Amino acid sequence: MNKVHTIQCGDFSLKVIEQGVGETLLIIGSADYYQRVMPESFYGHYHCVFVDHRGFSVCHRRVDESDVSLAQITQDIERVCCELNIRQCWILGHSGHAYMALDFTANSSGRIKGTILVGASPCLSKTMQALQFARWEADADENRKQIFNNNIIHLEFDIQNDPERKFVHVCCRLSAMRWFDANFNERFLWNDVPTHTAIFDKLWGNVFSEINILDYTTKIASPVLIISGSHDFSIAPPAAWLDIHPMFENAEHVLINNSGHTPMLEQPEAFDKALQQFLKKNR
């Protein structure tokens, strides 16, 4: 049975959903979105705590970029942990939320047992973008590229028509880069999820592109699992992690075949197996 909470962080009402039994797993992003994409099997062995960040939360005033930083998100997650009496747990961050998970782990004074990064490159810098597009040109088939071209021409209209949903529009129009099934329409996953464009523009446009991953690899001693999809063309290829020195003290990298940016929905059994093995090894 789900427990749903609203935790107030300043003017932002963060939705938190608890579901399942077992070891506590914090999942950062949109509580509603990530509850929809996680494998159903999770709830038999994890106590999942899905946590909104400010970009996805309800706020009844105009939002601007001063409302968010990685430090602020870390403070908000800490508040959630205190309110729910979460003393030790694992944490999972997917896509840009991986950097939020890393920042919380690095600054949480031993609260985190291990960190799971899904569909994430070391940062979103221009160098990483160049690696992403080089792989796209080399490895994406012509059908996938044509689907991308057919979709992307509608993005400008989408944003002009509904600018506060820009983040969702971008995700949906990049389907050929994000999903193993290039035609997959993810829009239903975003139903009733609030979005604040100013926050996403700052995080994805600036903060995540300027991250120095060494600030985290040199500070985090707890285990880290990096999960990548074989057909994720939306970020730099998994091999980008091989050039990071020094790497996390205790890191493992798993590639899930026949999946794109969201392997937990595309290949739920393989995803759950990888996570269970990681937790078992590092308990």
Is it the case that residue 1 has pLDDT exceeding 80?
Answer: no
Question: b/e map of 245-267 (b: 16 or more CB within 10 Å)?
Answer: eebbeebbebebeebbbbbbbbb
Run of H or E including 102: helix 97-106
Find all residues with CB under 8 Å of 136, minimum gap 6, and list them.
145, 177, 233
CA dist 280 and 283 (Å) reads 6
Proportion of the chain above pLDDT 90, given as a percent: 98
Band (pLDDT 50/70/90 cuts) for residue 137 is very high
| Confidence (pLDDT) at 146 | 99
Q: Residue 222: left if φ>0, alpha if ψ -120 to 50, beta else—which one?
A: beta
Q: Which residues are catalytic?
A: 95, 232, 261
pLDDT in tens, 110-121: 899 999 999 999
Domains in the chain, ordered, with CATH?
A: 3-127+196-282 (3.40.50.1820)
